[in-house]
A and B are shown apart, each in its own frame.
Chain A
Amino acid sequence: MDELSLYVLDITMNSVRAGATEITIILREDGEWLWFTVVDNGCGMSAEQVKKLTDPFFTTRKTRKVGLGVPFLTMLAEMTGGYVTVKSAPEELFPETHGTTIEAKFGKNHIDFIPLGDIVETVKTLIQGAPDVDFIFRHIFPTGKVELNCAELREMLGEGIPLSEPDILLWIGQYLSEQYDEVRHAG
């Protein structure tokens, strides 16, 4: 994968598949570092499963025997002088507060860092695939921030209009792109 935004898409898909109804994605850029955090209220994982996450030969899937999502992310983060941490509370043990938080840190100036790429496209893809999930997307720069809150959008649109409608996705794309333009001009 040659764009960081594809890693963001891939890792956030895990939260969708974990049955999360609320998923918060935060990107924060400051100086030479980029932090990427995903917080979900999905089914969570046991300590045993979390330990095995960086093992490429561990997956809960039945269709194949390898799971490369987290190993890819970890490799990229560590190559740039950063790290990946995963904290999880499985539903069986934490019926009220279950979920997973994954945080990655990347060195932006490192030669092995790859460009963020089209993050707006990643957000649109996530919403297209899971229009009922309350995604919060926030990208924080020293000069300002870009933000999208799906629960608020849904409230404004009322019932019966899924966020996956092409016209809505188009609007979301433009809404985010314009916020990025403003932040860049402010810088």
Chain B
Amino acid sequence: MKSLEELMAIKKKMQDKVAVRTSNGSTRIVVGMATCGIAAGARPVLNAFVEGVSEAGLSEDVIVTQTGCIGICQYEPVVEVFEKDREKTTYVKMTADKAKEVIEKHIKGGKPVTEYTIGAAKL
């Protein structure tokens, strides 16, 4: 059984990192989680970003958050990436696999995956 002792061990590990963790967060990944997003498959996309950022060891610089409907429901799941020195990148019709690719190429590699952006989608 998953024990509370294990939770306490995580707590201890976290407390050591706390000072570092609250200092940054220069990149924000925002996933649309309204009815339109959820129906289109946003839950596994959000999960892929949360786990991917953690696995890549980027939790100190990258925050994954949720938002409501931004008004382009036909393109859901929609993911916006906000960075310090770049214009916002809007990814559309996302999947968990595309999310992994975005983490690899964009979040880690610094190059947005243009083919998944709203600019590449046929308007």
Tell me which residues across on chain A come within 8 A of B71, comparing CB atoms.
63-64
Once the chains bind, are A125 and B53 in contact (CB under 8 Å)? Answer: no
Contact of A166 among B43, B50, B69, B73 (CB under 8 A): B50
Nearest Cβ in chain B — how far from A83, in angstroms? 20
1/0 per residue A57-78: CB within 8 Å of B? 0000101100111001000000
Nearest Cβ in chain B — how far from A98, in angstroms? 21
Is A51 an interface position by the 8 A CB rule? no
Once the chains bind, are B73 and A171 in contact (CB under 8 Å)? Answer: no
Once the chains bind, are A61 and B68 in contact (CB under 8 Å)? Answer: yes
Tell me which residues across on chain A come within 8 A of B51, comparing CB atoms.
166
Q: How far is the CA of A141 from the CA of B119 in the complex (A)?
A: 49
Once the chains bind, are A63 and B65 in contact (CB under 8 Å)? Answer: no
Q: How far is the CA of A13 from the CA of B8 in the complex (A)?
A: 29
Which residues of B34-61 are within 8 A (CB) of A?
A: 34-36, 38-39, 43-44, 46-47, 50-51, 53-54, 59
Once the chains bind, are A171 and B59 in contact (CB under 8 Å)? Answer: no
Nearest Cβ in chain A — how far from B1, in angstroms? 6
Which stretch in B12-20, B82-90, B99-107, B108-116 binds the other chain?
Answer: B12-20
Tell me which residues across on chain A come within 8 A of B35, comparing CB atoms.
10, 67-69, 72
Tell me which residues across on chain B come within 8 A of A158, comparing CB atoms.
11
Interface of B with A (CB < 8 Å)? 1-2, 4, 6-8, 10-11, 13-15, 18, 22, 33-36, 38-39, 43-44, 46-47, 50-51, 53-54, 59, 64-66, 68-71, 73
Is A92 an interface position by the 8 A CB rule? no
Once the chains bind, are A167 and B8 in contact (CB under 8 Å)? Answer: no
Known: A156-B4, A175-B2. A125 touches B10 (CB 8 A): no
Contact of A129 among B10, B59, B65 (CB under 8 A): B65
Tell me which residues across on chain B come within 8 A of A167, comparing CB atoms.
10, 13-14, 54
Can you list 11 pairs linking A and B with CB atoms under 8 Å apart? A1-B38, A9-B43, A10-B38, A68-B36, A125-B46, A128-B64, A161-B14, A161-B18, A167-B10, A167-B14, A168-B10
Once the chains bind, are B15 and A161 in contact (CB under 8 Å)? Answer: yes
Once the chains bind, are B38 and A153 in contact (CB under 8 Å)? Answer: no
